[in-house]
A and B are shown apart, each in its own frame.
Chain A
Amino acid sequence: MTGSAITASGLRKAYHDKVVLDGIDLDVPAGTIFALLGPNGAGKTTTVNVLTTLTKADAGTVRVAGYDVASDAKAVRKAIGVTGQFAAVDELLTGRENLQLMVDLSAIKDGQRIIADLLERFELTESADQQASTYSGGMRRKLDLAMTLVGSPRIIFLDEPTTGLDPRSRRTMWTIIRDLVADGVTILLTTQYLEEADHLAHRVAVLDGGKIVAEGTPDELKRRIPGTHVRFRFGTAADLATAERILDGATADENELVLRVPSDGRTKSVRGLLDRLDEYALDAEEFSVHTPDLDDVFLALTGHTTEAAKK
């Protein structure tokens, strides 16, 4: 496939007087992974709902697989697969029956082979005949995704596919997602984790308060945010001022009495900083090494933290 799998321009959506999407533009090239990164309440799920025909936008146009979601919803639905924010599996049915349900609801031939293949691929064959209520969170998520794949969609939407999963299940999910794209599928996923967007996505859009505040490759985004740094908290403003003077590139927060010093986080350079403080008989009350996370991305891009974005 070449060209764009998903394009959106000027998407707006408000519930009553609360603006949820405030002019979203997207362009997802076919065969790539695109991540929408943002905290709770940024508009990620609403964006996915609009792109997947579940919600009508107040304004703007969306084309998915070349079809307009407003005027050609049926054609869009045939081309896409959607895995929502919660594992939408029927807990009273077995894994196999859940997949059978998807086969029965789609116009698919050769359903039995597809079901057997998916169970095998997602390592669910052994538990296929147990009720989904007995599955772990990771297994439910896998079954959920397997159900989405029954119709072999070429464009897949994954709304927070790894939220709530343990690190091992998260890795498994990442491998599955990469394998899908290797087969030429286009994926749009939402996530709260910079690490996840970094590992998976070709392009990332950072969503905040219904607006895209930055877009680019993970490397481009990371260049825009402060790197690893060391934080010291001091007992007095005088100590803070002295420390700011003697440490290169340090920035002080006078209110919090916190000093941020750029550092690669390696023991040698950290020891250098500590020695320097010692020379001036300074004793920090708190000390931590900080690697960039979503909060830093937000602080750097929006001037406020993700907590503030949660309204």
Chain B
Amino acid sequence: MKNHSIVMLRRNLKHIARNPMSVFNAVLMPIVVMLMFVYMLGDAFSVGVDYVDYATPGLLLLAVCYGLGSVSLAVNSDKTKGIINRFKVMDVPPNAVLTGHVIASVLTNLIAVGAVIGVAFLLGFNPAASFPQWLAVIGIVLLLSLATSWITVALGLVAKTPETAGLVTVPLIMLPFFSSAIVPADKMGPGIKQFAEYQPFTSIIEALRGLLNGVPAAGDVIPALAWLVGILVVGYFWASSTFTKQA
């Protein structure tokens, strides 16, 4: 008997290969947003530094979030079509089924993040990060991708219909706009400003920004890591327990 996780992962990778549109969407949308904000509107924002340098960290996060919509749909389709029940009756462990989706999601995310970084350089992105700081950036992006993928898998399982599954990730796509991704939080109106300052994405973006500028601040990196690990743990246990409970 082959390892269940590997069989499942191979299935999810085949899905990506057979349905390149989902990857294309995940890559295209963040790049469109990037061109819109940096190339078209960038000169209108005064943030104290070159706008592409300011915006890129937030756009990395956006690149991760845009890829998640297709993940919740794929998980939900497995559930509603009875494919998950089929696997359950075959005694395939929950982790094997769900990890396949998560790893495929992380790979899609990494492609999108790579593309966004590439376009950022074309637009004049000039980071000051050292090699270890780049590694830390990659580590945080990976952790972010893992954590949000697990949450998305859970949301895909909880959603009753594919239509809801398509909508559940919208907040994840909207959250970066209500963070310091596009403009600094202190330039926002009252209410939104406080929300933006304290929501998890802002600390993650600030951590990435500090690392890419070569001046990481522990005050940003530590809360960012705490948020990410917290989201990962909640997502993982939520997804696993939902998988086990549902029939």
Contacts and interface: CB of A to CB of B under 8 A. Distances in A.
A52 B247 CA distance: 10
A84 B82 contact: yes
30 contacts: A49-B247, A53-B89, A54-B88, A55-B247, A78-B91, A80-B89, A82-B89, A84-B82, A84-B85, A84-B86, A86-B81, A87-B81, A87-B82, A88-B81, A88-B82, A88-B83, A88-B86, A89-B81, A89-B83, A90-B83, A92-B18, A104-B2, A104-B7, A105-B7, A105-B87, A105-B92, A106-B90, A107-B1, A131-B18, A151-B90
B11 A101 contact: yes
Contacts of A78: 91
Interface residues of A, number: 30
B194 interface: no
Of B2, B80, B89, B90, most A-chain CB atoms within 10 Å:
B89
A52 B89 contact: yes
Nearest to B4: A105
B85 A77 contact: no
Interface string A93-133: 10001000110111100000000000000000000000100
Nearest to A56: B247
Interface of B: 1-2, 4, 7, 11, 14-15, 18-19, 80-83, 85-92, 247
Contact of A77 (B4, B14, B91): B91
A107 B19 CA distance: 30
A310 interface: no
A147 B15 CA distance: 19
Given A84-B85, A105-B7, A92 B14 contact: yes
Contacts of A86: 80-82
Of B1, B80, B83, B92, most A-chain CB atoms within 10 Å:
B83
B22 to A, nearest CB: 10
Contacts of A74: 91
Contacts of A106: 1, 90
Contacts of B86: 82, 84, 88, 147
Given A55-B247, A84-B85, A77 B11 contact: no
Of A84, A87, A151, most B-chain CB atoms within 10 Å:
A84
A102 B8 CA distance: 11
A85 interface: yes
A87 B83 CA distance: 8
A75 to B, nearest CB: 10
A90 B19 CA distance: 13
Contacts of B11: 90, 93, 101
Given A89-B83, A92-B15, 5 more contacts: A82-B89, A87-B81, A88-B83, A88-B86, A105-B87
